[in-house]
Structure 1
Amino acid sequence: MKRIVFLLSLVAGLSAFAQDTSARQMPGQQEEVQAPEVPFVPTPQDDVDQMLELAGVKPGDVVYDLGSGDGRIVITAVQKYGARGVGVDINPVRISEANENARRAGVEDQVEFRQGDLFKADIGDASVVTLYLLPSVNERLKPKLLAELKPGTRIVSHDFDMGDWKPVKQIETNGSTLYLWVVPERGGHRAPR
């Protein structure tokens, strides 16, 4: 049932975003705004907390949220765990909202929200990556994660897996499934691409 609601939200979200941003440019932007492949469906705060706990977030971690929406995951990582946070989202409206939420939370100096394509984002300094994307997007993202992230980087996904890359841990919480992977050592046992 939850996946049906997510898919209905996906269709509605993409339709609304396409109407809202078609051919609109932000000041200083050189190219048209791309429509997202995944609509903004907020991760419930209980799931945010469980994702960050599953990842073992601690002070000194750099938490990247790919498809960061309103910024709640990286803001929580800073507030509760003392991490630094980076959110990447293609939607300029979500970036503005995330920056405002960070300002209200008093953490704007510890987070950064970047508008851009998550497939082109520089993610090499992440120690934790969080995702709430579709399975097809996770699958396409997997090679980038394995190539650019340091061994030991933790990846947590809300509700959707990465195909044949088996998680090191999987938990059920509040009707959601959370998955944890750890980027393997180079040259050692590699995750399937």
Structure 2
Amino acid sequence: MDIILINIILLIVIIFLLIVLSWVWPPDSPWAPWWKTSKEKSRAICRLANVSSKDIVYELGSGNGTTLIVAAKEFGAKGIGIEIDPLRVLVSKIKIWQEELTDKITIKRKNFFDEDLSKATVVYVYLVPKALERLKPKLLKELKKGTRLVSLNYEISLPLTKFDKKNNLRLYKIS
């Protein structure tokens, strides 16, 4: 009995430490801290980009997968999340499994700078300006004409298609 209790306590401590580590890992990353996107904001993103069942939504730095879950469940889209943090990947995969969306959403534990984005019809980003500027050449090279790009809170130096002031969302269309 004592061994079981010790193992449970050890497991709780390890999980706690992993959660704390995920808040700061990688510590020198300039791309983005863990900023969650709410379900309400995710709905606004999907409405702004006119997401439908014909779309493949990519989320770069997909965190816990909320935006992809909303896009799949409420708008019928397929989703690809690219996330480098292993704990966030695990959390998002569990949420997707709980929502029974494993046939519609894939989460990749990768660096989005190393992934091919050409199949996307919609791309969502919540990244700091430095990351957006570094990402811009890749987006212009890989995204097809007409692909919709939504950025939360930060501008990308591209022609703006639409601005949702209430939600601080910017829509761009690749031309």
Pair in the same fold by TM > 0.5: yes
Is the alpha carbon distance of 1:15 and 1:74 closer, same or farther for their aligned partners in structure 2, counting shifts above 3 Å? closer
- The amino acid that maps onto 1:170 is F
**TM-score under structure 2 normalisation?**
0.83
Q: Distance in 2 between matches of 1:15 and 1:39?
A: 10
Structure 2 residues not aligned, in runs of 5+: 1-19
Q: 2:32 aligns with which of 28, 38, 45?
A: 38
What per-residue deviation string (whole Å, max 9, x for no partner) do you get for residues 88-129 of structure 1? 011011110110000111101111000111111111100000
**TM-score under structure 1 normalisation?**
0.76
Q: CA deviation at 1:35?
A: 5.1
Question: Which residues of 2 match residues 8-157 of structure 1 at below 5 A?
Answer: 16-18=23-25, 37-157=31-151
Q: 2:160 aligns with which of 153, 160, 167?
A: 167
What is the match of residue 5 of structure 2?
Answer: none
What per-residue deviation string (whole Å, max 9, x for no partner) do you get for residues 41-69 of structure 1? 10122111101100010112000000000
Higher RCO (CA < 8 A, seq sep 6+): 2
Q: Distance in 1 between matches of 2:107 and 2:22?
A: 24
How many residues are treated as equivalent by the alignment?
156
Matched, 1:179 2:153: no
The alignment partner of 1:181 has SS state of: strand
CA RMSD between the two structures:
2.0
Q: CA deviation at 1:37?
A: 2.9
The alignment partner of 1:168 has SS state of: strand
Q: Distance in 2 between matches of 1:88 and 1:77?
A: 15
**Which structure dedicates a bigger proportion of its chain to helix?**
2
